[in-house]
C-alpha cells in the first residue's frame, strides 16, 4: 500500500470511528486536516511520503465535507459546504418537478408545489450569489 492509499484508508477509518452527530458538533475540516498532518508525520519521515499521504487523507475528507462542523473562519470549508447544498437543492428540485404534473387537476396542491419549487429555485440563486462572493474573497486573500 502506497502513501496515497494509506492516507485514503486512514482518513476513512478516522471518519468511520465517530458518529455523524459527533463530527458535525465537534470537528471542523481544519481540525481534520491538522490530525492528518500529525498522522502523516508519524507514518512517513520524507516530505514526499507525507504529501502523498495527506492527498489521500484530504481527498476522503472533502468527499464527506458535510460531516464536519462548520467553521465560518475557514473560507474553503464554507465554499465546499455551499457547493454541497447547491447540489442537494438541485436534486430536490429534480425530485419535485414531476409532482407539478402529478397534481395538475388539484389547483390548491399544484399552487403549493409550485410555491415550494420557486422557493427552492430562489434559494439556489442566492447560494450561487454567495458562491460568487466567496470566490471573490478567496482571490483577495
What's the pLDDT score for residue 85? 87
H or E stretch at 43: helix 29-43
- Core vs surface per residue 124-136: b (16+ CB within 10 A) or e: beeeeeeeeebee
11-33 mean pLDDT: 85
pLDDT at 123 over 90: yes
Q: What is the pTM of this model?
A: 0.52
Amino acid at each position: 500500500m502506497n502513501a496515497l492509499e494509506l492516507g485514503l484508508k486512514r482518513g476513512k477509518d478516522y471518519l468511520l470511528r465517530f458518529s455523524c452527530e459527533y463530527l458535525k458538533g465537534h470537528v471542523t475540516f481544519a481540525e481534520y486536516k491538522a490530525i492528518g498532518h500529525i498522522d502523516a508525520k508519524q507514518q512517513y519521515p520524507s516530505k514526499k511520503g507525507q504529501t502523498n499521504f495527506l492527498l489521500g487523507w484530504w481527498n476522503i475528507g472533502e468527499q464527506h465535507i458535510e460531516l464536519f462542523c462548520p467553521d465560518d473562519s475557514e473560507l474553503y470549508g464554507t465554499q465546499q459546504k455551499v457547493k454541497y447544498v447547491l447540489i442537494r437543492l438541485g436534486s430536490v428540485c429534480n425530485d419535485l418537478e414531476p409532482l407539478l404534473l402529478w397534481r395538475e387537476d388539484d389547483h390548491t396542491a399544484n399552487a403549493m408545489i409550485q410555491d415550494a419549487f420557486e422557493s427552492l429555485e430562489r434559494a439556489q440563486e442566492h447560494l450561487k450569489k454567495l458562491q460568487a462572493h466567496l470566490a471573490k474573497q478567496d482571490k483577495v486573500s
